[in-house]
Amino acid sequence: MVKKLSTILFIFSFAVNIFAQNENDALRYSFLTYGGTARYMGMSGAFSALGADFSVLSTNPAGIGSFKKSRVMFSAGAIMMNTGANYMGENTQDDYVRSNINNLGLILNLKTYDPEETGWKTVTFGVGYNYLQNLSNSITIEGTNTNSSLLDLFMINSDGTHPEDLSDWLWMAFDTYATDTLPNSDYTYINPLYGSYGERQRRLIETQGGIGEWVFSLGGNYADFIQIGATFGIQNIRSKYTLSHTESTESGDFKSFDYTETIETKGVGSNFKIGMIIRPVHFVRIGLAFHTPTFYSMTDVYSYKMSTYWRTPDSDGNTEYHSSAGEYEYSYEYYSPFRTVAGLAFVLWKYAIVSADYEYLDYGKSRFRADDYDFETENNTIKEKFGNGHNLRAGIEIRLAPVYLRGGLSYYGSASSEKFKATGSVSGYSLGIGLKTRTVYIDFAFRHSYTKNNYLLYEYDQGLSENANYNISKDQINFTLGYKF
């Protein structure tokens, strides 16, 4: 166990954006664009001042007070992503499609709505699941590098260490002759590409999984003037991250190498949300909600392998070598930032709803911790790189009963810059349509979003690094079927 832990801590010290528990993971777990019902998606999630939709239990639980009837609902959909990357002046494209369950829930009116009641008109309980964030994606990065190699990372971090004392991760490179010691040196290492770059690099990053939340909510409507509600949320993170890196050259004895890394992450966390919606006049709704940090218990399972391929056989006739660093499990904790959500909506008689949301959080407040590692470096990096997040959502619903038409716009600001449309921000629009009867309703929604970002492949000598730019265009469709009783 000591050897496994030392290997993991070594990886923490020398790799950024390749391995887990860094600032990029903190952002991934706290940057939520929300999912849920098709009605919610059709209005881009602008529901903090509204209600009567199950998704609001994850944003402003006061919306539960708007349900006048009990109901059960189910939502499912698909996500289609196109990723374009630029590296070393070359462009690559990648596509990814997956289906998912966006929502399932049960609403029970403990006190049935009575328009003549002067006190509590409704008291309602809700339980179910909302999909909060899709983590699945596929990115291909490819180009010819005349500056460096990933092997430089292994070489530099091996310098000065006897081969028998190398960590499992560095030994993997030495075991496949991706690194070797120079003759008559004090354990100075070399790699077959050092000083003769120009190799073809290709990296494939595949992620599967997402973040969902089980909600348990209670709230009510007092005198059609104020709604209050609270949600206890149990969030779960499931993801599998696979990085495949290949470098090949057309000259020399060394032909190519493959490096593969897999990280499976499981996490369970809890939070608490409270909210209110005030109706100062009959056509105005004002919403406000507060979310505590989500306190996660996380476990990562790592595995690594490397292969090298040569043109000239060795004395045993071998032209390829394979090694692995085994499998390591590490448990830790992650705390997401506190959130505040505010909303304003106008109900225009029975013909339309116009709504807008603002959400604030400080991404720099994310934290990792563990009993055997202080994460001081990682947490300081989070604090330095990330700041305030400002998210905006706006939506409209036009009622042509029994048909409802919806549309919306959303903007999720960058965690590292407050400039509009800065790198890391997500912009989107949505469209939706619904059909309602007295007991059954069916909703459809489409959402398009776009983001651009930077990706760090690796750092090598004296703070130098290789970076790529990429953009993601994402299309989502969602379908909800509900029954009122």
pLDDT at 21: 67
Q: What is the pLDDT of residue 12?
A: 43
The predicted model gives 65-94 an average pLDDT of 96
Is residue 96 pLDDT above 80, yes or no?
yes
Helix (H) or strand (E) holding 481: strand 465-484
Superfamily of domain 2-484: Outer membrane protein transport protein (OMPP1/FadL/TodX) (2.40.160.60)
Provide the percentage of residues in the chain whose pLDDT is more than 70: 96
Query: Which tens digit of pLDDT belongs to each residue from 357-405?
Result: 999 999 999 999 999 898 999 999 999 999 999 999 999 999 998 999 9
Copy the structure tokens of residue 124. 């309602």
pLDDT at 91 over 80: yes
DSSP string spanning 240-284? EEEEEEEEE-SSSSEEEEEEEEEEEEEEEEEEEEEEEEE-SSTTE
pLDDT at 426 over 90: yes
Per residue, what are the HEC states of 191-251?
Answer: CCCCCCCCEEEEEEEEEEEEEEEEEEEEEEEECCCEEEEEEEEEEEEEEEEEEEEEEECCC
10-14, 293-297, 301-305, 369-373: lowest mean pLDDT where?
Answer: 10-14
Residue 18 is predicted with a pLDDT of 41
- State pLDDT tens for residues 320-340: 999 998 788 999 999 999 999
**Residue 148: C-alpha distances to residues 176, 187, 201 (Å):** 19, 21, 10
Residue 17 has pLDDT above 70, yes or no: no
Question: In whole angstroms, how far apart are CA 81 and each of 95, 134, 344, 413?
Answer: 6, 11, 32, 20
Tens of pLDDT along 131-188? 999 999 999 999 999 999 999 999 999 999 999 999 999 999 999 999 999 998 889 9
Residues 308-318: what's their mean pLDDT? 94
Q: How confident is the model at residue 112 (pLDDT cuts 50, 70, 90)?
A: confident
Q: What SS3 string covers 348-359?
A: ECCCEEEEEEEE
Mean pLDDT to the nearest integer, 244-251: 96
Q: What integer pLDDT is reported at residue 31 of this predicted model?
A: 93
Condensed to tens digits (0 to 9), the pLDDT of residues 28-71 reads 999 999 888 999 999 999 999 999 999 999 999 999 999 999 99
